[in-house]
């Protein structure tokens, strides 16, 4: 209605007063009179319409568990057979365990907007509705797998992401996958296979790593398998069963057979804080998030708690309400900063320096908790000045290593140990124990050295009089005299470099904040929780970060207490919560147990591998001619990939465009299990259509590292709306196809219990063999879950606090010394210049020389520099940069610049996660997408929009203005042209255009100058989606063949990232606990000691592409209306100043 007609209407109505109006309306429309609608309304029968909308026929529960750790059992409300809406069960407050431990209703509600929007996913247009095989791949299989002389298939069969798709049945898809697996394993087996791999250019060390077993080039990944103990972890069960195939192909006995390779998860996602095992000897320290109300202070550090831990955010705000001081340190003024008492804004990637700066204040002002330092850390132990190694008791006193008995069992070679879930003491192989020996400290009372064994920690520690500062001369048994210093003393000397002013220069945290925060934390030892997020962890210096933050925490007594601890929050990972999992994944395929009443007899045939080598152009790290990747880590060539629950391994892989352009062509089969057509599906050969959580017919279970719940995925009564099968059924189908293909019946038995509807047997076996769940009956848990009630994991403490036993029961840590170790004397660390906890500049996201070790001349920092590898000292190319150990003091570093700075690459570009997406569930469902930041528009007024929302970059307004970029404009973002978006990219090449990142720019006053941000959780452009933008009348970035929908016209946030390998992630010598149970070993361990990559690093150039206004003209409308930062109208200025109400002023 136009304003004219409106006015006309009002006049016609003769509006003169309420009585007159009521009367006139009645007259005009023949309605019942409404004298005063505040008081009475004549006919309210119509209200029934809303009551009808509310009605539903029935409800059922399902579990929503992306990798966000929350694991919410939800109620689905059903009408006429369809899920109408979703809600929380409100029954987390009824969880209990076998001991009577109980949770409270403060845990309710558990839900989020992404869970509520699942209705749009379950029935969405991109739902994978039936299995699909890529046309060219099908033809290759049907042609009998033709190959060239080097073994490679003809490229015309591998036109991935551009090819047509063919609908097949699940059985046909399974047969195709089985045939390809047999063919690939056969091709690359034996000497002939190794020869082909060498011909194809793989590193000899990688080829050797296969040991001639073709099964080793086949990679399997159950993504984030804690989120599906049977259906996701099942991929590893398949990998293990590949030993059957190897035995057949190579004709070897079961004892010599080798299974497939399984990719890592927690470390692949850069969720593993790699320095945690370096300090504690085990995977990660963390605490349940409800612990925060037991702390006096919480330091939320690089963690956007309220955006990524949404259902557990109230613990933070309620703790604050009740007096916990909240300190938020972030690379911007973040969402969580708004919940802080103290907010500190820092430069991204400088967390190690900030932690060192804080520790420096604590040490300099002698505020540290000396008792804690002496009892629980290696800081009092002596280290030799000559060879930088820890001084060993044997060198001084002779004799063998001390006998260990403190909750520790030394295992003789060949001696059997109980299964992981039944282990109580730490188990140390005798060989390792002898290697370690014992350590030495300097006793101030006797003024002499004293030996100390690994047992002597906590209450058993005799170090009350240990010297912490100053060098001492120690006479060795052979009469030699060596200078030694306590680790504390060596660290203290290094810390002095990080005085508050220098710390401010490096980190941008004002010196006053460094001093105030350090003093505050030190004032009440053991009462601060450090909640450290994914932000700092996604930088190359992440292990430096962990070692430095632990140092700060240990100095202030904050490791291992309910209200004083360190936590690393990224991903859900601790599969050891079910340490009986080997019962299922490692069940011996040669000796399967088909009796549901009996346990399995596990034997591991598969090998783990870090997917970061695949991401690093399928090769390990070399410096010059020297192999830097440790032997225990060595990858095998990747010739096939099969994964479930994992868009991150391909669709959202770091350096995505390089991976799909330069790595995928070497891979001969990619099989994906998905229920939503993801970027991974775009690049796959075979896509199995699987059940969503709402349709699972086989129950499953999972647990979490941030809450105490054991959650079951209930089997649901909901009818499958599409031609889908459960993930585990797909595994079973392929196994049966393998049985047919190979004639080995054991393949058919691999999932026999699944076929019989008894998946619960596998789950029960896991429960029975897990220390935290033994005693639970799966059927009971399942019945409760159907009512919306979870169980509690039987952790030692509620809330769970890793390190609790170490502090309260003097249980040694899983390290060589049994203490928190800050000094690493292994050769790899000494060569890297990282025997001390140091700060390295980020590898790409820095304005200075990348990856340089910031240190003054220090007698203990003597790394192996580039020249020692035969590499030019000033070679800063990305490959070389990774292994480059160059030391410079800050005064010198600050005068350096990033090698690309001169070419205009001057913006740090980081890609954190956000509230609107969860891990592999991006922000693409319409009703969530429209709320994703400023540019969502469900009607797409601007047809350039790739979707109803789109990716955008947040930039400081002053930076944007300098570049001539207005709020809402489209911009190009380019990173290092030598290898991004992919090696070989040519801007002039039409076929490459889909890979270059274009997006909107938003004026974002909360980000510092030079720092730009793009949210993660986005579907990137593919050749097909780019084609859609060019050919579709509506301009949507949607693949005309597959329906894939991108959130960028071209490129993505992964156009600017790349794969990175850091030498200290790849040692053969780091001592760490096994994944499951209490056994201690050393070297590579997936998800514990292996590469993590650095996906948040890139330095970029930003340039204007198009104006933001409609029709690519003028300003984007909200800016034009004067309602955006830096475009404020007069009214908005008054509003911002609160000028529309004048307090204290009297009215007329």
Partner 1 sequence: MALVRNWQIGRSMSYWYPESRPQRQFAAVFDVNKCIACQTCTLACKTTWTSGKGQEYMLFNNVETKPYGYYPLGWDVRVLEKLGPQPWDGGRYGGRTIFEAAEAGERTLGWRPAEIDYAHPNVGEDDCAGQPIVNGAYYQLPHLSWFFYLARICNHCTYPACLASCPRGSIYKRPEDGIVLVDQGRCRGYQECVRACPYKKVFFNPMTGTSEKCIACFPKIEQGLAPQCFLNCIGKIRCAGFVHVPEKADPENPIDYLVHVRKVALPLFPQLGLEPNVYYVPPLHAPEPFLEQMFGPGVHEALRTYRGAAQDPDLAGLIALFGSTERIIHRFKRRGETMYGYDDKGSEVVHVPMKEPVQVLTAFDARRGVAPANVP
Q: Could you say which residues in the range 483-502 bind partner 1, by CB under 8 A?
A: none
Among 203, 395, 504, 668, binds partner 1 (CB under 8 A): 504
Query: Reduced to 3 states, what is the DSSP secondary structure of residue 249?
Result: helix
> CA-CA distance, 305 to 532, in Å (whole number)?
9
Q: Is 897 in the site for partner 1 (CB under 8 A)?
A: no
Going by C-beta distance under 8 Å and a sequence separation of 6 or more, which residues neighbour residue 821? 278, 279, 281, 377, 378, 813, 815
Among 1005, 1040, 1103, 1114, binds partner 1 (CB under 8 A): 1005
In whole angstroms, the minimum distance from the beta carbon of 356 to partner 1 comes to 16
Q: Is 104 in the site for partner 1 (CB under 8 A)?
A: yes
CA atoms within 13 A on the CB side of 341: 17
> CA-CA distance, 793 to 702, in Å (whole number)?
10
Among 66, 88, 637, 922, binds partner 1 (CB under 8 A): 88
Among 253, 416, 597, 1137, binds partner 1 (CB under 8 A): 1137
By C-beta, is 467 or 1013 nearer to partner 1?
Answer: 1013
Answer whether 123's CB lies under 8 Å from 82's CB: yes
> CA-CA distance, 56 to 52, in Å (whole number)?
9
Q: Give the x-and-dash track for 56-85 against partner 1 (CB under 8 A).
A: -----------------------------x
Answer whether 824's CB lies under 8 Å from 835's CB: yes
Q: Is 459 in the site for partner 1 (CB under 8 A)?
A: no
Among 119, 583, 716, 1025, binds partner 1 (CB under 8 A): 119
Q: Is 1076 in the site for partner 1 (CB under 8 A)?
A: yes
Binding window for partner 1 (CB under 8 A); candidates: 2-10, 603-611, 819-827, 869-877 = 2-10
> CA-CA distance, 1047 to 946, in Å (whole number)?
5
Q: Could you say which residues in the range 525-554 bind partner 1, by CB under 8 A?
A: none
By C-beta, is 185 or 426 nearer to partner 1?
Answer: 426
Answer whether 449's CB lies under 8 Å from 395's CB: no
DSSP 693-726: GGG-SS-EEEE-SSS-EEEEE----PPPSSS-B-
Q: Is 20 in the site for partner 1 (CB under 8 A)?
A: no
Structure tokens at 460: 């058993």
Going by C-beta distance under 8 Å and a sequence separation of 6 or more, which residues neighbour residue 669? 137, 177, 180, 181, 184, 639, 640, 641, 642, 685, 686
Closest CA to 621 of 852, 884, 846, 831: 884
By C-beta, is 829 or 909 nearer to partner 1?
Answer: 909
Angle between helices 170-187 and 234-250 (to 10 degrees): 50
Q: Could you say which residues in the range 949-978 bind partner 1, by CB under 8 A?
A: 956-958
Q: Is 763 in the site for partner 1 (CB under 8 A)?
A: no
Structure tokens at 31: 């309605």
Binding window for partner 1 (CB under 8 A); candidates: 18-26, 257-265, 521-529, 634-642 = 18-26
Among 4, 30, 53, 481, binds partner 1 (CB under 8 A): 53
Q: Could you say which residues in the range 236-295 bind partner 1, by CB under 8 A?
A: 282, 290, 293-294
Q: Could you say which residues in the range 800-829 bind partner 1, by CB under 8 A?
A: 800-805, 809, 814
> CA-CA distance, 457 to 401, in Å (whole number)?
16
Among 190, 254, 462, 510, binds partner 1 (CB under 8 A): 510
> CA-CA distance, 461 to 456, in Å (whole number)?
5
Answer whether 814's CB lies under 8 Å from 572's CB: no
Q: Is 416 in the site for partner 1 (CB under 8 A)?
A: no
Q: Is 110 in the site for partner 1 (CB under 8 A)?
A: yes
Burial-class residue 938 by CB neighbours within 10 Å (0-12, 13-18, 19+). exposed
In whole angstroms, the minimum distance from the beta carbon of 1054 to partner 1 comes to 23
Q: Is 1019 in the site for partner 1 (CB under 8 A)?
A: no
Q: Is 923 in the site for partner 1 (CB under 8 A)?
A: no
Helix/strand/coil (H, E, C) string of 858-895? CCCCCCCCHHHHCCCCCCCCHHHHCCCCCEECHHHHCC
Structure tokens at 136: 């060219």
CA atoms within 13 A on the CB side of 739: 16
In whole angstroms, the minimum distance from the beta carbon of 42 to partner 1 comes to 9
Among 40, 366, 445, 719, binds partner 1 (CB under 8 A): 40
By C-beta, is 41 or 903 nearer to partner 1?
Answer: 41
In whole angstroms, the minimum distance from the beta carbon of 1040 to partner 1 comes to 25
By C-beta, is 256 or 809 nearer to partner 1?
Answer: 809
Among 195, 342, 593, 740, binds partner 1 (CB under 8 A): 342
By C-beta, is 937 or 1106 nearer to partner 1?
Answer: 937
Q: Is 780 in the site for partner 1 (CB under 8 A)?
A: no
Sign of CA dihedral 262, 265, 267, 273: negative
Q: Could you say which residues in the range 974-993 bind partner 1, by CB under 8 A?
A: none
By C-beta, is 570 or 794 nearer to partner 1?
Answer: 794
> Which residue has 């990173």 as its token pair?
975
Q: Could you say which residues in the range 929-948 bind partner 1, by CB under 8 A?
A: 930-939, 941
By C-beta, is 65 or 340 nearer to partner 1?
Answer: 340
> CA-CA distance, 278 to 960, in Å (whole number)?
41
Element (H or E) spanning 512, and its range?
A: helix 511-523
By C-beta, is 41 or 984 nearer to partner 1?
Answer: 41
Among 27, 167, 403, 424, binds partner 1 (CB under 8 A): 424
Answer whether 793's CB lies under 8 Å from 709's CB: yes
Q: Is 396 in the site for partner 1 (CB under 8 A)?
A: no
Q: Is 787 in the site for partner 1 (CB under 8 A)?
A: no
Q: Is 4 in the site for partner 1 (CB under 8 A)?
A: no
> CA-CA distance, 928 to 943, in Å (whole number)?
19
Q: Give the x-and-dash track for 295-324 against partner 1 (CB under 8 A).
A: -----------xx--xx-xx--xx-xxxx-
Among 210, 572, 770, 846, binds partner 1 (CB under 8 A): 770
Structure tokens at 118: 């699942």
In whole angstroms, the minimum distance from the beta carbon of 1143 to partner 1 comes to 5
- Please list the residues that pair with 709 across neighbouring strands: 792
In whole angstroms, the minimum distance from the beta carbon of 327 to partner 1 comes to 10
Q: Is 910 in the site for partner 1 (CB under 8 A)?
A: no
Length of the chain: 1148
Going by C-beta distance under 8 Å and a sequence separation of 6 or more, which residues neighbour residue 61? 73, 74, 75, 76, 89, 714, 716, 785, 786, 787, 788
> CA-CA distance, 862 to 841, in Å (whole number)?
17
Q: Is 351 in the site for partner 1 (CB under 8 A)?
A: no
Q: Give the x-and-dash track for 563-582 against partner 1 (CB under 8 A).
A: -----------x-xx-x---
Element (H or E) spanning 548, and its range?
A: helix 542-555
Query: Reduced to 3 states, what is the DSSP secondary structure of residue 84?
Result: strand
Among 63, 86, 820, 853, binds partner 1 (CB under 8 A): 86
In whole angstroms, the minimum distance from the beta carbon of 818 to partner 1 comes to 13
Query: Reduced to 3 states, what is the DSSP secondary structure of residue 1137?
Result: coil
Spatial strand order of the sheet with 481-486 comes to 382-384, 481-486, 472-475
Q: Is 447 in the site for partner 1 (CB under 8 A)?
A: no
Q: Is 1112 in the site for partner 1 (CB under 8 A)?
A: no
Q: Is 347 in the site for partner 1 (CB under 8 A)?
A: yes
Among 30, 253, 446, 1140, binds partner 1 (CB under 8 A): 1140
Q: Write b or e for each residue in 367-396: b if 16 or more Cβ atoms lie within 10 A of its Cβ, otherwise e.
A: bbbbebbbbbbbbbbbbbbeebebbbbbbb
Among 447, 988, 1031, 1142, binds partner 1 (CB under 8 A): 1142
By C-beta, is 344 or 484 nearer to partner 1?
Answer: 344
Q: Is 95 in the site for partner 1 (CB under 8 A)?
A: no
């Amino acid at each position: 209605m136009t304003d004219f007609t409106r006015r006309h209407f009002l006049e016609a109505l003769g509006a003169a007063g309420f009585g007159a109006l009521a009367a006139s309306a009645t007259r005009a429309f023949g309605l019942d009179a409404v004298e005063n609608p505040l008081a009475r309304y004549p006919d309210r029968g119509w209200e029934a319409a809303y009551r009808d909308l509310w009605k539903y026929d029935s409800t059922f529960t399902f579990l929503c568990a992306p990798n966000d750790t929350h694991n919410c059992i939800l109620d689905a409300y059903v009408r006429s057979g369809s899920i109408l809406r979703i809600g929380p069960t409100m029954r987390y407050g009824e969880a209990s365990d076998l001991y009577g431990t109980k949770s409270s209703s403060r845990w309710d509600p558990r839900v989020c907007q992404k869970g509520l929007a699942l209705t749009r996913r379950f029935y969405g247009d991109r739902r994978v509705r039936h299995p699909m095989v890529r046309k060219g791949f099908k033809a290759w299989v049907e042609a009998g797998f033709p190959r060239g002389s080097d073994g490679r298939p003809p490229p015309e069969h591998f036109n991935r992401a551009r090819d047509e798709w063919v609908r097949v049945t699940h059985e046909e898809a399974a047969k195709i996958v089985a045939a390809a697996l047999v063919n690939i394993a056969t091709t690359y087996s034996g000497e002939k296979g190794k020869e082909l791999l060498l011909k194809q250019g793989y590193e000899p060390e990688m080829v050797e790593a296969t040991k001639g077993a073709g099964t080793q080039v086949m990679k399997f990944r159950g993504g984030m398998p804690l989120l599906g103990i049977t259906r996701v972890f099942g991929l590893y069960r398949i990998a293990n069963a590949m030993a059957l195939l190897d035995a057949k192909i190579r004709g070897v006995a079961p004892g010599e057979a080798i299974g497939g390779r399984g990719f890592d998860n927690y470390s692949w996602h850069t969720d593993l804080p790699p320095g945690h095992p370096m300090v504690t000897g085990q995977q990660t320290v963390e605490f349940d998030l409800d612990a925060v109300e037991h702390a006096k202070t919480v330091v939320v550090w690089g963690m956007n708690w309220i955006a990524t831990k949404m259902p557990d955010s109230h613990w933070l705000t309620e703790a604050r309400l009740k007096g916990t001081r909240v300190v938020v340190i972030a690379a911007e003024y973040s969402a969580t900063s708004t919940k802080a008492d103290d907010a500190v804004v820092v430069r991204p990637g400088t967390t190690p320096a900030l932690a060192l700066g804080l520790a420096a204040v604590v040490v300099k002002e002698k505020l540290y908790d000396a008792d804690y330092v002496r009892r629980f850390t290696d800081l009092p132990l002596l280290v030799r000045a000559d060879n930088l190694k820890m001084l060993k008791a044997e060198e001084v006193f002779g004799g063998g290593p001390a006998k260990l008995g403190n909750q520790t069992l030394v295992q003789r070679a060949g001696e059997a140990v109980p299964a992981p879930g039944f282990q109580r003491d730490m188990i140390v192989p005798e060989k390792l124990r002898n290697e370690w020996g014992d350590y030495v400290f300097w006793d101030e009372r006797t003024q002499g050295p004293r030996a100390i064994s690994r047992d002597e920690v906590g209450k058993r520690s005799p170090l009350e009089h240990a010297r912490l500062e100053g060098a001492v001369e120690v006479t060795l048994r052979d009469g030699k005299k060596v200078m030694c210093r306590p680790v504390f003393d060596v660290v203290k000397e290094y810390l002095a470099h990080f005085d508050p002013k220098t710390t401010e220069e490096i980190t941008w945290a004002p010196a006053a904040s460094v001093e105030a925060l350090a003093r505050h934390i030190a004032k009440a030892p053991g009462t601060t929780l450090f909640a450290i997020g994914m932000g700092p962890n996604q930088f190359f210096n992440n292990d430096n970060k962990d070692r430095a933050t632990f140092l700060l925490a240990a100095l202030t007594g904050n490791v291992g207490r309910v209200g004083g601890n360190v936590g690393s929050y990224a991903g859900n990972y601790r599969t050891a919560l079910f340490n009986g999992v080997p019962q299922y994944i490692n069940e011996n395929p040669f000796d399967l147990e088909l009796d549901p009443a009996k346990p399995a007899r596990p034997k591991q045939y598969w090998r783990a591998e870090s997917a970061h080598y695949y991401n690093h152009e399928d090769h390990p790290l070399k410096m010059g001619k020297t192999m830097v990747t440790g032997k225990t880590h060595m990858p095998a060539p990747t010739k096939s990939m099969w994964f479930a629950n994992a868009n991150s391994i391909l669709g959202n892989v770091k350096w995505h465009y390089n991976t799909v352009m330069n790595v995928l062509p070497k891979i001969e089969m990619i099989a994906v299990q998905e229920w939503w057509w993801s970027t991974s599906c775009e690049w796959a050969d075979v896509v199995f259509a699987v059940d969503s959580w709402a349709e699972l017919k086989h129950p499953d279970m999972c647990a979490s590292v941030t809450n105490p719940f054991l959650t079951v995925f209930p089997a649901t009564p909901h009818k499958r709306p599409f031609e889908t099968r459960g993930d585990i059924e797909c595994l079973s189908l392929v196994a049966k196809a393998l049985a047919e293909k190979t004639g080995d019946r054991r393949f058919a038995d691999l999932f026999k219990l699944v076929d019989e509807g008894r998946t619960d047997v596998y789950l029960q076996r896991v429960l029975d063999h897990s220390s935290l769940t033994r005693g639970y009956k799966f059927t009971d848990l399942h019945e409760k879950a159907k009512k919306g009630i979870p169980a509690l994991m039987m952790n030692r403490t509620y809330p769970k606090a890793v390190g609790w036993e170490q502090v309260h029961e003097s249980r040694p840590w899983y390290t060589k010394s049994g203490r928190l170790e800050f000094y690493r004397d292994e050769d790899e660390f000494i060569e890297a210049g990282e025997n001390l906890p140091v700060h390295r500049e980020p590898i790409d996201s820095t304005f200075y020389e990348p990856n340089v070790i910031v240190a003054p001349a220090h007698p203990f920092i003597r790394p192996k520099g580039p020249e020692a590898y035969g590499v030019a000292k000033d070679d800063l190319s990305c490959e070389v940069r990774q292994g480059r150990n160059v030391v410079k003091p800050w005064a010198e570093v600050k005068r350096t610049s990033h090698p690309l700075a001169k070419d205009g690459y001057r913006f740090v570009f980081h890609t954190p996660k956000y509230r609107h997406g969860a891990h592999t569930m991006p922000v693409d469902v319409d009703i969530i997408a429209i709320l994703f930041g400023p540019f969502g528009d469900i009607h797409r007024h601007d047809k350039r929009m790739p979707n109803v929302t789109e990716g955008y970059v947040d930039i400081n307004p002053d930076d944007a203005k300098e570049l001539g970029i207005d709020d809402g404009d489209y911009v190009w973002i380019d990173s290092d042209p030598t290898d991004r978006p992919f090696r070989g990219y040519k801007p002039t090449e039409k076929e490459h255009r889909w890979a270059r990142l274009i997006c909107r720019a938003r004026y974002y006053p909360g980000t510092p100058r030079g720092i730009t941000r793009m949210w993660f959780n986005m579907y990137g452009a593919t050749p097909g989606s780019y084609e859609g933008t060019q050919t579709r009348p509506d301009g949507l970035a949607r693949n005309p063949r597959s329906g894939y929908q991108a959130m960028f016209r071209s490129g993505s946030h992964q156009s600017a990232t790349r794969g990175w390998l850091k030498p200290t992630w790849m040692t053969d010598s780091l001592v760490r606990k096994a994944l499951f149970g209490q056994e201690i070993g050393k070297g590579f361990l997936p998800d514990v000691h292996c590469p993590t990559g650095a996906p948040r690093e890139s330095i970029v150039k930003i340039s204007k592409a198009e104006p933001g206004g409609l029709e690519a003209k003028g300003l984007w409308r909200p800016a034009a209306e004067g309602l955006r930062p830096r475009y404020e109208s007069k009214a908005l200025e008054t509003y911002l100043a609160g000028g529309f109400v004048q307090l204290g002023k009297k009215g007329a």
